[in-house]
Every structure is written in structure tokens, then in C-alpha cells.
Amino acid sequence: MAKIGVVGLGAMGGGMARACLEAGHEVTGHDLNEAALAAFRSEGGGAAPLAEVAPALDILVLVVLNGAQAEAALFGPEGLAPLIRKGAAVVCCPTVSPDFARSLAARAEAMGLLYLDAPISGGAGKARAGRLTILASGSEAAFAAAAPALDAMAETVFRLGAEPGAGSAMKAVNQLLVGVHIAAAAEAITFGMTQGVSPEQTLDVISKCAGTSWAFENRGPHIRDGDYTPLSAVDIWLKDLGIVLDIAGRAKFSAPLTAAALQQFVAASGSGLGREDDSAVAKVYARNAGLKLPGDA
């Protein structure tokens, strides 16, 4: 049994923390949302504040929104890095640039911690089931130290190299594809509506055709049902596709499809949809075409 701390108990982090609990580990969580923290504690999570148990942790898992939150969780005024024993593993899961991952890793390793650059993919359902895909890079010692948490949280762990940053580079590739595919799914479904094809028909047919994708099959039902409960919000893509374009710009690589998809998410956010499910990008297409989506009053 390992002693694991999880910072961030949202849709992803909450599921990951619970998967670790079910694997038999002692898990203490932290979240600014008191309701999320209370719910986790009621299900067996550690009752003490994470800062109090930090010196005894074997593994700290960060499932926060962005790099700034990860940096604050480790090195801010109330950061945990100075409290954790040397040789403990830090598993950093948010989508960040490779350069940022390397910077955090260097600071953590200078304090004697074992840093794993470990972005995640799979969605909230797989997080809760312990079936995530983790795109990880770091030293063999970091992989070994983090193994109890990785085994509990993931179905597949890709070892992408010994240097932090490689995991984040691969996550950028993934986010490029998923962001473009979500925007493309919204475009396809609303385009079909202009031709008298309902979202339900498009979803039924295209999911069995070559034009399908994971994003189409996962987000299409949200559009069909008019349910934009935020499992992954529109504003996530302003961050993630922004990271992709920033990396591409430094590499002098043109990424026009990414740029076009990002603009649709920017338009959605600017329309007040930033906290809705990312499938709400379909509302931008519908508005511009004068269409009425399912669930519209």
C-alpha cells in the first residue's frame, strides 16, 4: 500500500483518486471546492489536510487545470514540494508545454524529488475506472516510485523517454487531434442539419462510417441530446490548442487546422459558452447558420 496525495478532485482527479482508493492505497486529496473534498473524504479519502500528511507521502499526483496551478501546488507560498520527503514521486498530469514540464522537473529534482511528466487521456469515465492512458516520461527511478499510482489509475502507460517533456510533447499531438476533431464533429453535425439530416441520423450513420472519430462518437451524443453539462469545458481548448500553437510557432511549424479549430472555441467562449461542455462549439455553427439545435427553447 502506498501513501498517495492527489491535488485536484474534479472530473478527472476525483476519479483517479477514487481508483487509487479502490486499489487499496491510502489516499489524501486536496481541492479548493469544499464539496468535492468532502465527497471524497466521505468515500474513504484521508481526513487530514494534504499539507499535514505530505511528509509521509510516497506519491503526489497533480491533476490541476494548467501549468500555473501545478507550479503553485508545488512551489507556491503553500506549495507541497518543500514538505515531501526526498525520493517521493511527483506525477504531473496537466497539459503543459514540454519546456514548462522540463522547468518544473528541474526544480523538483533539485529538491530530491522524482518527477514524472505524465499527461493523461481517456475522459472522466476511464479515470474513475482506473483505465486511463498516461503519456509519461521521466527517469526509471521516477517510474518505479510512481508505479503504485500508475497501476491504479491507468490501463496503458506509455514510457516515452527518460527526459521530462516528452510526455507533454505527445499530449500536444493528442490535443491537436482531439480539439480539431471536436470542432469537426460539431461542423459536420450542423452542416447535416442544413441538408435536413438530424443530429441523431448523422450520429447513427457516421459512427459506422469512415468519417467517425472518438471525438465524434463521444461528443456527438451531447449535441444530439442538447446536454452541455461540462465534462470537458470549451475554455479547456483555448488553453490546450493555444499550447499547441505556441509549440508550433517556436518550431516554425504551420498548423492551420489547429488555428481554425481554436478560433471556433474562442468564438464559443466569447459567446458566453466557456464553461459549457466543449461540444457547445456546435452552437457557434448553429447560430451562424440560423439553425435550432436539439434542446433549444
Contacts 24+ apart (CB under 8 A), 50-56: 50/5, 50/7, 50/80, 51/78, 51/80, 51/83, 53/3, 53/5, 53/28, 54/5, 54/80, 54/83, 54/84, 55/83, 55/84, 55/85, 56/3, 56/85
Q: Which residue among the candidates 3, 171, 239, 283 is catalytic per the annotation?
A: 171
Q: What are phi and psi of 7, to 5 degrees?
A: -100, 115
Burial 185-200 (b: 16+ CB within 10 A, else e): bbbbbbebbeeeeebe
The verdict on whether 292 is a catalytic residue reads no
Residues marked as catalytic: 171
